[in-house]
Chain A
Amino acid sequence: MEILGYLTLGIFLTLMLLTLFGYIRTPVQTVLVMSTILCLIVGGIFRFAYSGWDAVMLLPNEFLGGIILHPITALLTGLFLAGGLKASGGFEALKVILRYLRRSPIGLVGTLVILINLPVISSLPCGRILAAALLPLLFTFGFEGGLGILTKSQLIVLIGAFTRNAMGSCGPSPIGGVGQIGEGFLGSFFPTASEGILRAPQAFSLMLGTAIVAIFLKMISQRLYPEDVALREAPPSAEGVERKEPEIVAPLEGYLALAIFVLSLLTAIFQPFGKMPVQSVLVAGALLMIVVCRIRLTHLMEGIILLPVTAMASGFLAAGALAATGGFDALGTLLNSLVKVPFLGVAGMLAIFVQFQTILPLSCARILTAALVPVLYLFGPAKFAFLDWSQLAIVMAAYIINATTSCGPSPLGGGGMMGEGTMRAETGFIKGAYTFASMAIMAPLAAIYMKFMNLKVFQPSDPSFVKDITTIMEFALAVVAVNLFLIFLSRRVLGTDSSRNFYFQLIGFLTAGALAGGILAFALFETNATAILQGVAGGIVAAMLIGLMVPRTLSRRMTATLSGPEM
């Protein structure tokens, strides 16, 4: 029966890779359902042959038992509430508030910094909600949008950084966020994990990762692909001409809806009225919106974006089919064999594993997260015992932020394409910046934050856990400094030869990946030199897989994609 696991795992990975490389041109959810059906058919045949009809009859139960409803219902209610916010003019109210902020002492730049970080602060269950509402506003800051406050380069940085932040904000969301999948598993040991043990590490690393994306877009992406953004600069004749800002008016219902939304979010997070499911709080908020803001149930229903919901459901289905047919056991065995490779070991294998979703970016992080977090869980005391519970939490923090940001660079309808569309860029323009930040900044810093802060917050009775803010700051500064140095160095050596540029960029990725792997190994095994070297090796392997996927040129690649793959 062991062969069955390898077979179904092979089916799943083959279909995912064929989709990612454009050989299968159907939505990834459809492919996942196909994978589920194929795995179940193959599983059914094997079971019938080896154990008879009774074993086949048990297969549906085992397959459906893997579906976790909590994140799906939390996501639905979160989107439901966001629909009310949109229908009642809540986003217009937000735009008015931002306009006042721009005229305050923090000025334009301070407002833009807040605006870029607004997605992670509001932590909606899908980054696409806020991106859809605010990207048109960001576009107006440029010449073509009407205001002409920002240049083309500034607008690329603004839109790219905002979209990066948005397409990672679904991770720390307390209302159906991607991180809740991991928190559910960590709840086996940390009793209060479901209150958000993974939220702060994700938010911390995402804020810094967003800043690195901004620098990368300015220094590297615009240098590598100078002709691939169709935004226009203001013509010389337009300079100095004062443009009238379009008046934004928000209805009173919009402000009320915004207030109800914020209160619902705070109630869901802090539970001031006693413990209750987050879904109940959000539905109560939505009902209050219907009464106070006079919106209809259909308006709330319109807020539900099907992509993340179906992505999560199809991910769980595929995961359930893999679990029932031994696919995860096979994956576990394969990764177990990686552990036996001398230069990798446990640290090296984990350094590759935490980057898995950036290596294989799909349209919604939930698809693979639902499938792979159970595998990660098995590395802990539950099965393979590579890690104790605290180490599992550290790896989970690194894995989840890397996973949750993976929808940004996905060419399969990933959220980053919304940003590329707004800045009129070719598909793939943001990929280098997004994957670099996820790999080099976010994963290692989330691990460090979990180790030196959050373990103590969620398990205060354990004396071995510490809160060490100085170490967190030192690591943050060191990681940022090294990566800024790499970006500045790359900028100096980049020229007009795209192949040469690609290899220079790859060297930068490998160096940053080595550092990320080493830091992850340190967070897990502290000063164990062998583990750190193995982490460095694993980080290099992961970085190579990520760096090789960054496009050399965009226009040619797009043309190749549009004209069809060469089979």
Chain B
Amino acid sequence: MLTWLTFIFVGSLSGVIIAWALDMKTPRELVQGAVGGFIAGLLMAAMLPH
């Protein structure tokens, strides 16, 4: 469970940073970036040994 949470956190954080770096700075775009990162973190956690 903790691995999932950690990767969701790091995915969302990196998603927001990447969105900002891509000049997508409106609140909607930043949230979309975070959600994209959330999904990426979730998928990554699913692929790891627990």
Contacts and interface: CB of A to CB of B under 8 A. Distances in A.
Interface of A: 105-114, 116-118, 120-121, 123, 150-151, 153-154, 157-158, 161, 192, 195-196, 199-200, 203-204, 207-208, 210-212, 214-215, 217-218, 265-266, 269-270, 449, 453, 457, 467, 469, 472-473, 476-477, 480, 484
Interface centre among B9, B11, B17 (most CB of A within 10 A): B17
Interface string B1-15: 011011101110111
A114 B10 contact: no
Given A110-B39, A215-B20, A477-B13, 10 more contacts: A105-B32, A106-B35, A109-B24, A114-B39, A117-B37, A121-B43, A192-B49, A204-B7, A207-B14, A480-B17
A520 B1 CA distance: 26
B21 A109 contact: no
Contacts of B50: 457
Contact of A121 (B2, B14, B19, B40): B40
Contacts of A480: 13, 17
Contacts of B20: 215
Contacts of A467: 2
Interface centre among B3, B5, B11, B14 (most CB of A within 10 A): B14
A212 B33 CA distance: 15
A214 B21 contact: yes
Interface of B: 2-3, 5-7, 9-11, 13-15, 17-24, 29, 32-33, 35-37, 39-41, 43-44, 47-50
A215 B23 CA distance: 10
A110 B13 CA distance: 13
A192 B11 CA distance: 26
Given A211-B14, A212-B17, A457-B50, A203 B7 contact: yes
B23 A195 contact: no
A109 B44 contact: no
Q: Which 5 residue pairs are nearest across A and B when measured between Cβ atoms?
A: A110-B36, A113-B36, A214-B21, A211-B14, A211-B17
Contacts of B22: 109, 112, 150, 154, 157-158, 214
A263 to B, nearest CB: 13
A120 B23 contact: no
B47 A123 contact: yes
27 contacts: A107-B32, A108-B24, A108-B32, A109-B22, A109-B36, A110-B33, A110-B39, A113-B36, A113-B40, A114-B40, A121-B44, A121-B47, A154-B22, A196-B48, A200-B3, A204-B7, A207-B37, A210-B18, A211-B21, A215-B21, A217-B21, A269-B48, A269-B49, A270-B49, A473-B6, A476-B10, A480-B17
Contacts of B2: 453, 467, 469
Nearest to B29: A109
Given A114-B36, A114-B39, A154-B23, A208 B13 contact: yes
Contact of B14 (A110, A195, A208, A266): A208
A499 to B, nearest CB: 27
B41 to A, nearest CB: 7
A457 B49 contact: yes
B1 to A, nearest CB: 9
Given A121-B43, A214-B18, A207 B10 contact: yes
Nearest to B40: A117
Contacts of B29: 107, 109
A457 B32 contact: no
A118 B47 CA distance: 12
A262 to B, nearest CB: 10
A105 B2 CA distance: 27
Given A208-B10, A208-B14, A476-B10, A453 B3 contact: yes
Given A200-B3, A204-B6, A457-B3, A109 B40 contact: no
Nearest to A157: B21
B21 A476 contact: no
A209 to B, nearest CB: 9
Contacts of A469: 2, 5-6
B41 A207 contact: yes
Nearest to A217: B21
Nearest to A199: B48
Contacts of B23: 151, 153-154, 218
Contacts of B40: 113-114, 117-118, 121, 207
A203 B48 contact: yes
Given A114-B39, A467-B2, A473 B19 contact: no
A258 B3 CA distance: 26
Contacts of A121: 40, 43-44, 47
Nearest to A203: B44
Given A117-B14, A120-B44, A110 B35 contact: yes
A133 to B, nearest CB: 18
A215 B17 contact: yes
A453 B6 contact: yes
A556 B14 CA distance: 34
B40 to A, nearest CB: 4
Given A106-B36, A210-B18, A204 B10 contact: yes
A453 B6 CA distance: 10
Nearest to A468: B2
Contact of A161 (B3, B11, B21): B21
Contact of A109 (B10, B19, B48): B19
B38 to A, nearest CB: 9
A151 to B, nearest CB: 7
B26 to A, nearest CB: 10
Contacts of B48: 196, 199-200, 203, 269
